[in-house]
C-alpha cells in the first residue's frame, strides 16, 4: 500500500545567495532577470533561458559575464530594454542541485531583482520542502512569503500554477474580512471602479444596508490589502 505523503504545496520564497543574478541585480537595482526555462546540462554547467528587463541590458549582461559562476552567455534577442539570453552557470553552486536533492522544483515566474530571488516552489509534500531548507542552510538566506497546501478536491490547471501571484490571489479571500469582501465584490460588480463610475458610493451603501462612511472604510481597507498583490503581479509579468 502506498504511503500517504501528505498534500502537495506551493511556496513563495525570497532568497539571497551567491548567485550571478543576485549579485548583478543588486548592483543594477533598476533591472531584473527572469528565469524562463532550464534547457540543458553539460561539463559541470547548467544552461538556463533568461529574460533581462533593464534600462541597460547590455551592461547587465557584461556584468554577468564577469561573475565567477558563469560560463558561456548567448544573446538570443535584444530590443533596447529587454534581452533574452541563454547562460551557463556552474552546477555545483546552482539552486538546481538543491531542488534535485529535495525533490522540489521552481515554477515560472521566477525572477531576481534588487539582489533578491523571488521564486515559487512546488513541493510534493512538506517533507520535501523541509529537505530543501536543510540543503541550503548556511548558504542561502531564505524568507517564506506565503505557502498554500493543494486540496486534492480543488480543480487547478497548470496555467494557475504558473500565474504570477498565484498564492496571493488564492489567499486574497483569507486576507479580507467577510464584510470587506462583500463590499469590494459589490463595488466591482456594480461598476464602482469603472471610469466613469456606474454607481455612486451612496448607492452602493444603500444596496448593502450600511452608511456611506462605513462602506468607504471597508473599501479602503480592502484596497490596502489587495493593491500590493496587484503590484507584485504586474511587476512579475512585465
* pLDDT for 130: 96
**Number of domains into which the chain is organized:** 2
pLDDT value of position 149:
85
Residue 135 · residue 150 · CB < 8 Å:
no
Say if 3 falls within a structural domain.
no
Choose the final residue of a domain: 117, 137, 166: 166
In terms of domains, do 114 and 220 share one?
no
pLDDT average per 10 residues of sequence, the chain (238 residues): 71 94 94 92 92 95 96 93 95 92 88 93 94 96 89 58 56 77 91 92 95 96 85 65
Look at residues 114, 132, 166 and tell me which one is the last residue of a structural domain: 166
Strand partners, 149: 9
Looking at residue 1, its pLDDT comes to: 43
Same domain, 182 and 209: yes
Residue 2 is predicted with a pLDDT of: 45
d(CA 139, CA 119): 17
Element (H, E) at 221: helix 212-237
156 in Cβ contact with 126 (< 8 Å): no
Residue 4 belongs to a domain: no
| pLDDT confidence of residue 154 | 59
Same domain, 106 and 187: no
Is the domain of 135 the same as that of 217? no
> Can you give the pLDDT at residue 43?
84
Residues 54 and 146 in one domain: yes
CA dist., res. 38 & res. 73, Å (int)? 14
Is there a domain that residue 123 lies in? yes
Domain containing residue 76: 9-166
Contacts of 189 (CB under 8 A, 6+ apart): none
Note whether 72 and 155 are same-domain residues.
yes
Q: What was the pLDDT predicted at 80?
A: 84
Amino acid at each position: 500500500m502506498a504511503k500517504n505523503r501528505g498534500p502537495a504545496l506551493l511556496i513563495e520564497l525570497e532568497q539571497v545567495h551567491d548567485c550571478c543574478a543576485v549579485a548583478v541585480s543588486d548592483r543594477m537595482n533598476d533591472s531584473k532577470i527572469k528565469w524562463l526555462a532550464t534547457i540543458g546540462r553539460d561539463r559541470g554547467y547548467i544552461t538556463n533561458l533568461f529574460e533581462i528587463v533593464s534600462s541597460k541590458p547590455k551592461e547587465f549582461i557584461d556584468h554577468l559575464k564577469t561573475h565567477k559562476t558563469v560560463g558561456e552567455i548567448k544573446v538570443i534577442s535584444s530590443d533596447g530594454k529587454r534581452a533574452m539570453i541563454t547562460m551557463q552557470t556552474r552546477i555545483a553552486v546552482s539552486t538546481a542541485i538543491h531542488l534535485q536533492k529535495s525533490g522540489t522544483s521552481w515554477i515560472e515566474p521566477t525572477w531576481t531583482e534588487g539582489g533578491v530571488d523571488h521564486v515559487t516552489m512546488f513541493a510534493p509534500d512538506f517533507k520535501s520542502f523541509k529537505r530543501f531548507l536543510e540543503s541550503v542552510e548556511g548558504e542561502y538566506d531564505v524568507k517564506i512569503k506565503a505557502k498554500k497546501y493543494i486540496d486534492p478536491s480543488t480543480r487547478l490547471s497548470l496555467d494557475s500554477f504558473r500565474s504570477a501571484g498565484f498564492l496571493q490571489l488564492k489567499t486574497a479571500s483569507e486576507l479580507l474580512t467577510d464584510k470587506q469582501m462583500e463590499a469590494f465584490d459589490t463595488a466591482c460588480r456594480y461598476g464602482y471602479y469603472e471610469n466613469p463610475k456606474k454607481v455612486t458610493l451612496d448607492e452602493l451603501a444603500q444596496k448593502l444596508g450600511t452608511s456611506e462612511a462605513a462602506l468607504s472604510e471597508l473599501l479602503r481597507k480592502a484596497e490596502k490589502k489587495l493593491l500590493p498583490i496587484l503590484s507584485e503581479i504586474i511587476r512579475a509579468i512585465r
